[in-house]
Structure 1
Amino acid sequence: MKNRITLFLFTLLLGISMSSYSQVAVQADTIYTMDGDKIIDGIVLVKGEKIEAIGPATDVQVPSDYQMHKTSVVTPGFIDAHTVVGLAGIFNQDSDQDQLETSSAIQPHLRAFDAYNAREELVKFVLDKGVTTVHTGHGPGALASGQTMIAKTAYNTVKKAVLDSKTTVSFTLGSTVERYFDKPGTRAKGVAMLRQQFIDAQEYLDKRNSDENHSTDLKMEALADVLSGELTAMITAHRANDIMTALRLKEEFGFNMILDGASEAYLVVDEIKDAGIPVFIHPTMTRTYGDAQNASFTTASKLAEAEIPFAFQSGFESYVPKTRIILYEAAVATAYGLDREEALKALTKQPAQLLGISDKVGSLATGKDADLVLFDGDPLEYTTHIKSVIVDGKVVKK
C-alpha cells in the first residue's frame, strides 16, 4: 500500500512538472510582434515559458503534439506602465489600501515588494483584460511615497510574480500632496523639503562610497540609490509649472527620471523633449479635476508627434474597482489622433524599454517570455473580445 501511495505521489508530481512546460501553437490572421512589421497569417510556437518560433504560417511548421489556438489577432501581453494594483484592493476598504502611507510626506524607503498582494482580486481583473505585467507600488500623493516594483499578474505569490523588486522611487509635485499632509503647505515648501533631502543624500552617498562601516539609514539609502542611478525617480507632476520644477530637480541633482501623469505636457513639449525625459502619460479618460483639470484627449498623439517616448498607465482611482484598463485608455487616444500601431507600442514595447525589461517582455520574438493576448478582432475596437491570455507559456484565461 505504501509503495502504491509513493508511486501515485511521484506520478502526480511528474504530471505537475510536465504540465508546467507548455507546448502551444497560436495561429492568427494578424500578429503584432512589435519587433518589426506585423505578420499576416502567422504562427507563434511556444515551448515551456518561451517563444520557440514565430513567422508566417508558410514558414513555421506546427508539431502534431502542440496545443493549437486559432484567433484573429495576437499581441504581446500588455504592460501597465504605472499602477497601484496589488497594493490597492478591489473593495476600497482600509484593510486593502496600502498604496499610500500618510504618516510622513517623505518615505522613499517603503518597498512595494513588502506590501504587494499577488492574490488580490484586482490583479486577476487586469490579467483578464490582457495586462500580463504591471509596474506597481506606492502611489502619488506624497513628496516621496516609496519604491515601485514590476510583477507578472499570473502568479499567486510575490516571489513567483516579481520581475524587479526595486524599480523607481515615486515622487509627487503639486497640490495633491496637500490633501494628505499638513506639511508642506505650498509647492515651494514641498520642493525645498525634497531638495534638502537630496542634499543630505549626496553627503550620505559620499560616506557610503568612502566608508564601508558607515551606519545605514534606509531613507538615505533609497535617495542615494536615486542619485547614483541604481533607481529611477518617477515624478508625478500634472501642471506645466510642476513639470518644469521636476525637470529642474533632475538637472540639479543629475538623476534618471520618468515624468508621470503630465496632464499639461502639451504646454511644455519642447522642454520635455530637450530634457530627454520619457512620460508615463495620464489615463486618457482621467477625471479632469485638481492638478489634472487641464488634461487633454490629444496629449498622447502630441507626444508621439514630438517623438517623446511614452507609455500608457492605469494610474490610481479612488473608486471601485480601483483601476482603469490601459487597453481602453489607448483605444480612446487613437480616436483623438494617435496612430493605432503607436498605441499598441505604448502598451507593449515602449513600457518594456522604459522599465528595462525589454529583454523578456514587450514584443514577440524567439527566446522571449511567451506572454500573448488573443483577440477575436481589432484590439482597439470596443466590440472586440479577448479570447485567451497566455503568460510564460501557460493559458491563464480562456
Structure 2
Amino acid sequence: MKRMTNYLAAASALVLAAGAQAQDIAIKGEQVHTMAGPVIENGVVVIDDGKIVAVGPAASTAIPAGFEVLEAKVVTPGLVDARSVVGLAGYLNQPHDQDQLDESAPVQPHLRAIDAYNPQEPLVEWLRGFGVTTVHTGHGPGALVSGQTMIAKTIGNTADAAAIVERAMVAANLGPMALTERGKSPGTRAKQMAMLRQALISAKQGDAAKPAGGRSNDDKSNADKPPTLETQVMRDVLAGKLPLLVTANRAQDIMSALRLKQEFGIDLVLDGASEAYLLTDEIKAAGVKVILHPPMTRQYGEFENASFTTGEAMRAAGIPFAYQSSYEGYVPKTRVVLFEAAIAAANGLSWNDALASVTIDAARIIGVGDRVGSLEIGKDGDVALFDGDPFEYTSHAVGVVIDGKVVSTASQ
C-alpha cells in the first residue's frame, strides 16, 4: 500500500492533465474482481496504450520491464453509472449550471446531452474519485420527452473528448413528474400516452406537419417539408437505433411503458421502476432491461413503495438490471452508485451481483459492455483501486485509472 501511495503522489501532477498520454501500468491487487470470472487472489492487471493486455495471477502474469506498478487491497473495473444527469446538473444548483431540463415544451427529443455536458463540472471529478469511470448521463425527468442521453468517460477537457457514445437513448418520463398544471398538456396520464403515441405515429408516417400534441394541420403544402428534428429522432427510436428510456415508478406507469413497447416494437429500457417488484412476470415477458432507482432514494410521492430489495427481486426473476445515481433536485445533485450498490448488497443481493450492477451489468444495459465494465484483455484500461471491501463504509477509493491514465490519487 505504501508503494502505491508514494507512486500516486509523485504521479499526480502529470496524469490529471486531460491531454496526458496513456501510461504503461501494472496494477496488483490482493483481490482482483474481474467481473468476467472468479476473483483472482494476488492478481495483476496489465495496461498498455490504454487497453488491458493481460489479467491473471501475479505469479504467472508477466509485467513488462519499465511498467509502473500500483498496488491495492481490492481492484475492480471502473464503476459504471447507468443513469445520471451529472455534467448537465451542476453542484452549485443555480440556473446557470442546471441544463438537465428545458421546460419550454413537453416533447423535445431533439435536445442532445452532448450540447449541454460540461466535463469540467466539479461533480464529474467528485464521482471519479469514488471509482466512477463511465456515466450514462443526459436530460432528466420533468418533461414528457426531455431529450437525449450520452455516455461519457469521467475525464476530458471537452464533451467531445469525454463522449464514447454521443447519442445513447431518448429520455421519456411517465407519471406525476411529467404532468403539467393550469390546463397545459399533458395534464393526465392518458394525455401523456396519447402524446407519446402521436410522436411515434407522426414519425412512422413521415408526418412532419402534425405536432406531438396531436393537433392536425390541414395545410397541404406542409406535406413536402423535410422532417423536423423531433421527427428524425423518433424515427431513430422506431428503427431501433435509439432505445426509449422511460422513467416510470408506479406500477400503472410501468405497464403503460410496456404497452407502448408492444404497440410499436421499440427498444425500451425502464428507468426508476420503484414498483418493478410488483410486475416481475410482465417485465420479464416483455424482455425489458431495467435501470433501477438508487436504493437510498427518498421514499415519498411516487417512490413511497420503493424497496431496498428490488434488485434481489430482479435478479431472482432473471431480469437484467443495473443501479444508477439518478437525478437529485437538491445538492450535491448526484448520488454515488458505489454506495447504492452497497445498500443492495446489505439487503438480499449477493456481493458479486451488487458489484456487477455498477460494472459489467450496467455497461451491458447501456450498450458499452464490449469496452468497459470488466477487466478483460482488449477492453479499456479503466480500473478502481480500494484499500478494503468497496462496500464497507470504512474503505476508501485510493486510485482510479481511466484509459490507462491515473486520474485520481486522493483517498476518498
Q: TM-score, normalised by structure 2?
A: 0.89
Aligned alpha-carbon RMSD (Å): 1.8
Q: Write the distance in 2 (CA, Å) between the matches of 1:25 and 1:307.
A: 36
Q: Write the distance in 1 (CA, Å) between the matches of 2:18 and 2:65.
A: 21
Q: Match for 1:104: what amino acid?
A: A
Secondary structure of the residue that 2:206 maps to in structure 1?
Answer: helix
Q: Write the distance in 2 (CA, Å) between the matches of 1:242 and 1:128.
A: 36
Q: Match for 2:127: what amino acid?
A: V
Displacement after TM superposition at 1:129 (Å): 1.1
For 1:23-49, what per-residue CA distance to the aligned partner results, in whole angstroms no more than 9, with x for missing partners? 111111111111111111101111111
> 1:1-398 to 2 correspondence within 5 Å?
20-178=21-179, 182-204=184-206, 215-398=226-409
Q: Is the 8 A contact 1:205 1:224 kept in 2?
A: no
Unaligned runs of 5+ in 2: 1-16, 210-223
Secondary structure of the residue that 1:142 maps to in structure 2?
Answer: coil
Secondary structure of the residue that 1:107 maps to in structure 2?
Answer: coil
Q: Write the distance in 2 (CA, Å) between the matches of 1:17 and 1:115.
A: 19
Displacement after TM superposition at 1:352 (Å): 1.1
Q: Match for 1:376: what amino acid?
A: D
Q: Write the distance in 2 (CA, Å) between the matches of 1:176 and 1:160.
A: 33
Q: Is the 8 A contact 1:102 1:180 kept in 2?
A: no
Secondary structure of the residue that 1:104 maps to in structure 2?
Answer: coil
Q: Write the distance in 1 (CA, Å) between the matches of 2:128 and 2:292.
A: 21
Q: Write the distance in 1 (CA, Å) between the matches of 2:63 and 2:108.
A: 53
Q: Match for 1:128: what amino acid?
A: G
Q: Given the superposition, is the C-alpha separation of residues 218 and 328 from structure 1 closer, same or farther in structure 2, using an over 3 Å criterion?
A: same
Q: TM-score, normalised by structure 1?
A: 0.92
Displacement after TM superposition at 1:214 (Å): 6.3
For 1:336-390, what per-residue CA distance to the aligned partner results, in whole angstroms no more than 9, with x for missing partners? 1000100111111011111221111111011110000000111111111111000
Aligned to 1:3: none
Q: Write the distance in 2 (CA, Å) between the matches of 1:76 and 1:17.
A: 21
Displacement after TM superposition at 1:179 (Å): 5.6
Q: Given the superposition, is the C-alpha separation of residues 19 and 263 from structure 1 closer, same or farther in structure 2, using an over 3 Å criterion?
A: closer
For 1:127-150, what per-residue CA distance to the aligned partner results, in whole angstroms no more than 9, with x for missing partners? 111110000000012110000000
Unaligned runs of 5+ in 1: 1-15, 208-212
Q: Write the distance in 1 (CA, Å) between the matches of 2:300 and 2:166.
A: 33
Aligned to 2:14: none
Q: Is the 8 A contact 2:202 2:208 kept in 1?
A: no
Q: Write the distance in 2 (CA, Å) between the matches of 1:177 and 1:348.
A: 30
Q: Write the distance in 2 (CA, Å) between the matches of 1:42 and 1:214.
A: 61
Secondary structure of the residue that 1:242 maps to in structure 2?
Answer: helix
Q: Write the distance in 1 (CA, Å) between the matches of 2:230 and 2:200.
A: 11
Secondary structure of the residue that 2:160 maps to in structure 1?
Answer: helix
